[in-house]
Structure 1
Amino acid sequence: MTTALTFVAAEGEGFTAPGPGSFELPPVFEIGSLGVTKSMLLIILSAFIVVGLSWYASRKAAVVPGRAQFAGEYLYGFIRNGVARDSIGSEHFMKFVPYLFSLFTFILVNNYYGIVPFLQFPSFSRISYVYGLAALTWLIYNGVGIAKHGFLGYLKLQTIPSGMKGPILVLLIPLEFLSNILVRPATLALRLFANLFAGHLLLILFSLGGAYLILDSGNAWYAPVGVVSFLLGIAVSFLEMLVMFLQAYVFTLLTAMYIGSALADEH
């Protein structure tokens, strides 16, 4: 398909391959000098969706749950037991469950925008939003670590591996500081952003490329390739549904692991 697209573009018909510019959306409306974009509105909408669904699932709590309550409790239990308790430990995990549950559901809703008709834009394919979440997680796990161990004690915990002594520490301490304090939020953000960006870019390519080959290429021989492109787009959409869930889970799991390591007594 890529070869066909390249050949058609070379003939001068003007297919423009999607790229980073495809994610630069124009403002939907402006408030003074501030341009409010689609991604901004989706971020705000997702907060209402998470709060609304949580309220709906818990509004009629009963011993024998209905379908909405059962789904909400299952999801909550998954984060509470499978993420928070396993990663943080049974002593401290409960106080972080609300944040982890909110984080997971918020990321999940924003990810799945990418396959919702008419919305079709995953918010976290814009890295600024991901950096915001990663910065919040960074503040939380460093804050709880400093609160428990003290500032110097926390630095020691994060930079000096247990049992390590001697001149090797001259090399290890800067590396551990860089890895555990400075690099973690960047890698946490980039993992989520890169997967959402690449997946959405593929969906754009398959859909626009298929439409171009069928409708605008001017060559009927390209039409079957365009149909294949659409079919691949559908297949990638199903794959993206899995990736979107996994990235929300991985971001939440790593957040819990970082909190657990900040509260641990040994590095």
Structure 2
Amino acid sequence: MLASILAPTLPATECPSGEFCGPSVEEFFPEPLLFIGTPFEMNRVLLIRMLVVVILILVFWVGTRNLKVVPGRAQVVFEVITGFVRNSIIISTLGEKNGRRFMPLLFTIFFLTLGLNLTGIIPGLQIASTGLIGMPIIMAVVAYVVFIYAGLKQHGLRYFKNQLILPGVPIVLTPFLALLEFLSTFILRPITLTLRLTMNMVAGHMLLVLCFLATHFFFFTVLAQGNALGLLGIGTFAFGIAFTLLELFVAALQAYVFTILTAIYIQFSVADEH
């Protein structure tokens, strides 16, 4: 039973018999499985992404198709989660008018990020595809385009002046501070959105794989040879469970952070003052 749970976390590259092999970033680049040799080639990571999208569509379809005045347990859970995103992230940051305007985008960002993050702790999947930088880049670019669009829609070309020129700053310092504001607003924002999500997911995946690979090694290699050191697998397994719970928290936290930062950037763009 334990072997079947731990087996999917084994490295893609072959490990010499009787030796311990740690995790590798190569796990984020598995071999193609479908449509090999075509422009539509798909590997395990892409299939997991498609699975997450399908599950999210089903969850929202089932959750909204038969809403009742007196909700059942499933509807209560659904409304609590969606209500938290709506009220605590979107409306509280953007207000009612702009919150409704950008709600579809922010809902999509939150639940897609959450779903892709959570696959890193699901047995049989065990990889968060947000650990591949491509997906975070796409979402960061979308957020980047939207907050610039929101600013231009609200203020026209004056938006760039509002973002770059700080009121009340001595004219001698204005060019220097304008450069800093440009770097901060138009360069660093998408970069930090991307790297924060990617690095957290990569680090979490590596910790989990390290713990469960070590458990597999101690139980099924060391202990199987009659060496009592194999009992160390109990400790590595306990750490693996603890890090799984931590990764569950990090998955939700990173979805929250990415979404609320996007909402904050939009709010900065539409605000009347810097």
Same fold (TM over 0.5): yes
- For 1:127-166, what aligned pairs fall within 5 Å after superposition? 127-151=133-157, 153-166=158-171
- Counterpart in 2 of 1:41? 47
Structure 2 residue identity aligned to 1:84: I
One of 174, 184, 190 as aligned partner of 1:185: 190
Percent identical pairs in the alignment equals 36
- Would you say 1:224 and 2:224 are equivalent positions? no
One of 17, 25, 28 as aligned partner of 2:30: 25
Stretches of structure 2 that go unaligned for 5 or more consecutive residues are 1-16
Q: Is the 8 A contact 2:114 2:252 kept in 1?
A: yes
Shift in Å, 1:147: 1.3
Range with bigger deviation, 174-183 or 77-86: 77-86
- For 1:53-72, what aligned pairs fall within 5 Å after superposition? 53-72=59-78
- Counterpart in 1 of 2:177? 172
Separation in 1 of the partners of 2:56 and 2:236?
A: 34
- Counterpart in 1 of 2:90? 84
Shift in Å, 1:214: 2.7
Separation in 2 of the partners of 1:222 and 1:132?
A: 46
- Would you say 1:248 and 2:261 are equivalent positions? no
Q: Is the 8 A contact 1:141 1:258 kept in 2?
A: yes
- Would you say 1:259 and 2:256 are equivalent positions? no
Shift in Å, 1:162: 3.1
Q: Is the 8 A contact 1:56 1:68 kept in 2?
A: no
Separation in 1 of the partners of 2:68 and 2:214?
A: 51
Note the alpha carbon deviations across 1:6-60, whole angstroms, 9 max, x for none.
Answer: xxxxxx9532221222222111222543430111112122222111111111111
Separation in 2 of the partners of 1:168 and 1:54?
A: 51
Shift in Å, 1:232: 0.6
One of 53, 56, 64 as aligned partner of 1:50: 56
- Counterpart in 1 of 2:14? none
Note the alpha carbon deviations across 1:72-101, whole angstroms, 9 max, x for none.
Answer: 222222112111111112332111112111
Separation in 1 of the partners of 2:270 and 2:36?
A: 44
One of 241, 245, 248 as aligned partner of 1:238: 245
Aligned with 2:35: secondary structure?
A: strand
Q: Is the 8 A contact 2:28 2:45 kept in 1?
A: no
RMSD: 1.7
One of 175, 182, 201 as aligned partner of 1:196: 201
Alignment size in residue pairs: 255
Q: Is the 8 A contact 1:114 1:121 kept in 2?
A: yes
Separation in 2 of the partners of 1:220 and 1:32?
A: 46
Shift in Å, 1:224: 2.0
Shift in Å, 1:61: 1.6
Structure 1 residue identity aligned to 2:191: A
Range with bigger deviation, 82-91 or 51-60: 82-91
Separation in 1 of the partners of 2:44 and 2:18?
A: 30
- For 1:3-14, what aligned pairs fall within 5 Å after superposition? 13-14=18-19
Q: Is the 8 A contact 2:197 2:254 kept in 1?
A: yes
Q: Is the 8 A contact 2:150 2:269 kept in 1?
A: yes
Deviating beyond 4 angstroms after TM superposition, the runs of 4 or more aligned structure 1 residues are none
